Chains A and B, each alone.
Chain A
Amino acid sequence: MSHHLVITDLHVSVGDKEILKGLSLTVSSGEVHVVMGPNGSGKSTLAHALTGRPGYHVTSGSATLDGVELLHIAPWERVRAGLFLALQQPMEVPGVRPSDMLIAAGADPQRVANDIRREAQAVGLPDSILERFVNVDLSGGERKRAEIVQLGVLRPHVAILDEIDSGLDVDALGMVARRLQEATTEWDLGVLAITHFRRLLQELTPDVIHVMSDGRIVTSGGPELVEVLERDGYEPFRQK
């Protein structure tokens, strides 16, 4: 079955300030969409608003996953519907082990330990991650990889990756990108990756590149758009 995340004319405010000003895009199973844009253009706001982070207020618009309106259901129900967010700055949760968290999130208690081990190995984390509390005493790069471990265990339909590449060394970045690329065929994961850097895209092949500016998508195109951005920067797109 093919899954579709459809975002239509999304407006989001933080405090009194409108950050997203009518954003629309669609991500389907197996596709890799990449959102790029200058600082402050609203990329992370998109990720947080879709997953219901406190303080991010959707003022209008729609976001559906397979026809289910995500904006009308609780954050945890959005995940159960098939949407997963890998955070830019994953939080420490002292005292809570990854396996307990993932079981509470719906993972199979019989399989969760093996699944964590398998996914940890895929991104170069040691088995000892099982024994640690969630993200406690992990480096920034290890936390990013731990987010991908969770993704691999929960197997969402669509994953939003908020700057998953920042803080990763070259080897770790390669492992994360390869794991995500595999997931797009293994269970037809749809990916919406927010990034500043093309190096993630060396092993995670994008289908569509979106350029964001001032709370909107101002241009979408194929992988060749990355070359244009590398050459010309975001300035030409700001003027659109």
Chain B
Amino acid sequence: MTTFLEATTDFVTLSPDDSRRELWRAFETVGLPTTSDEVWRYAPLSSFSLEPYRVNSEPTSRDIPVELRPAVAVAGMVIRTHNGQLTDVTGALTGVSVTSTAAGESRGGQSFAARYHDDAFALMSGALAPHTLDIDVTNQVDVDRPIVIIHDVVSSSTFLNLRVSVGGGSRVNIMEFYVGGADALVVPLSEFFVAANGELRISTFQRLANSAWHVARTTSFLERDARVHQAIVGLGARYNRARNDAEFLGAGASNVLHTTFLGSGDQVHDFRTHQNHRVGRTNSTLLSKGAVAERSRSVYTGLIEIENGARRTDARQTNVNLLLSPDAHADTVPNLDIRENDVVCAHASSVGPLDELQIWYLESRGVPPEDAQRLLVQGFFNEMTVSLPQAVADLVASDVRDVIAKVGV
């Protein structure tokens, strides 16, 4: 039987693409991480091996899940991928083009191998993705209807590269969903380039099967006065890791990042952020908020980096964790690396159970305690979903209700 590594090595060796081979060599050099690496300390790597996964990048089409129909109904364009491969584009939007290009090439001024040199999963994704899904929005276009991207994971392993480029002065709204993924390894690698005064709003809802391993990484590159509003919701996967970085390249750029999760069973939700303020007069606002139930755990590690000379930067990060069971656990590690004096920078974090007095207040209105707790947990997530597109918010709220009912909060 061919092992995962034998199959992937064959795939890369036979590829006509030199960048794949460069990425694969870099992956082999780095090797899979272990929990002795600080950034992987909380991952359940002792139970992780690549060998159970099969290599299969063939697309397998199936119907759009019924729960995604409200999002599809409001979309101006629906893009579908299966096992990381672009399979279908329906609808058309003025100024928007969708193509698939060779994987493993970055527009960020560096090769993938250089940019992600110490990230084994990113290197693997670049080497093994069938191609890069490119969404380009030309200059000065206000895309009036959202783009919906549905990533359907049917195969055992899925490597996916997504690149969104928003032209100067343009605005676009993207809703992205990950579905399927039973027992699968899912490794998306995304880059968002927003040119001067452009705006990208992107909401990503990861609702993979709870047996999946999901290791995702996104990077936003913001030029002068560019805006990225990014929301990440993770409910699925046995191990859900999302690293979301922003690089501020031009003055006036701003990034709002909201991440949220609800853990149950033995899930691990692992969120990493890095806001790199390379120039001044840039803003980042990060809110990470999630709850852990049963035996699940969460990790939040956020770094705000303000480089020397990046004056009048305003950077804030807040991490709030709700413990819904005595066996659940949350770790929060906010970090600041500030090399400039003329900045505003703040971070706050909390870990704790539901507020006893809020429960009493609801009880004092006539709400039974179990309903009070349910309302408060749903309310905890409502605070995050208010900024999501309605079709995503409704689905998140529905999924959260289902999980809460299942775990008996």
Which residues from chain A sit less than 8 Å from chain B, CB to CB? 51-54, 74-76, 79-80, 84-85, 87, 90-91, 93-97, 100-102, 104-106, 133, 150, 154
Contact = CB atoms under 8 A, between A and B. Distances in A.
Given A91-B358, A94-B383, A96-B382, A76 B375 contact: no
Of the listed residues A54, A76, A133, the one surrounded by the most CB atoms of chain B closer than 10 A to its CB is A76
A130 to B, nearest CB: 14
A87 B364 CA distance: 10
Given A93-B361, A94-B383, A133-B382, A76 B366 contact: yes
Given A76-B366, A104-B367, A96 B379 contact: yes
A154 B357 contact: no
Given A101-B365, A105-B365, 4 more contacts: A52-B360, A76-B372, A79-B366, A100-B375
Contacts of B381: 95
A101 B364 contact: no
Contacts of A106: 366
Contacts of B368: 74, 76, 104
A8 B356 CA distance: 29
Contacts of B376: 93, 95-96
Given A76-B368, A95-B380, A133-B382, A53 B375 contact: no
A74 B358 contact: no
Contacts of B356: 54
Of the listed residues A53, A75, A106, A154, the one surrounded by the most CB atoms of chain B closer than 10 A to its CB is A75
B45 to A, nearest CB: 35
A95 B369 contact: no
B190 interface: no
A80 B366 contact: yes
B358 A75 contact: no
Contacts, number: 83
B238 to A, nearest CB: 28
Nearest to B357: A91
B318 to A, nearest CB: 13
B260 to A, nearest CB: 12
B363 A76 contact: yes
A95 B358 CA distance: 12
Contact of B360 (A53, A96, A133, A150): A53
Contacts of B369: 74, 76
A91 B365 contact: no
A85 B379 CA distance: 23
A101 B380 contact: no
A51 B357 CA distance: 13
Nearest to B368: A76
B358 A93 contact: yes
B371 interface: yes
Contacts of A79: 363-366
Contacts of B362: 93, 96, 101, 104-105
Contact of A95 (B360, B371, B378): B378
A95 B374 CA distance: 11
Contacts of A104: 362, 367-368, 371-372, 375
A91 B376 CA distance: 13
A73 B162 CA distance: 58
B375 to A, nearest CB: 5
A52 B375 contact: no
Contacts of A87: 361, 364
Contact of B357 (A54, A84, A96): A54
Given A93-B376, A95-B376, A101 B367 contact: yes
A91 B382 CA distance: 18
25 contacts: A52-B360, A53-B360, A53-B364, A54-B356, A74-B369, A75-B364, A76-B363, A76-B369, A76-B372, A79-B363, A79-B366, A84-B365, A85-B364, A93-B376, A95-B378, A95-B379, A95-B382, A97-B382, A101-B362, A101-B365, A101-B367, A104-B362, A105-B367, A133-B382, A154-B366
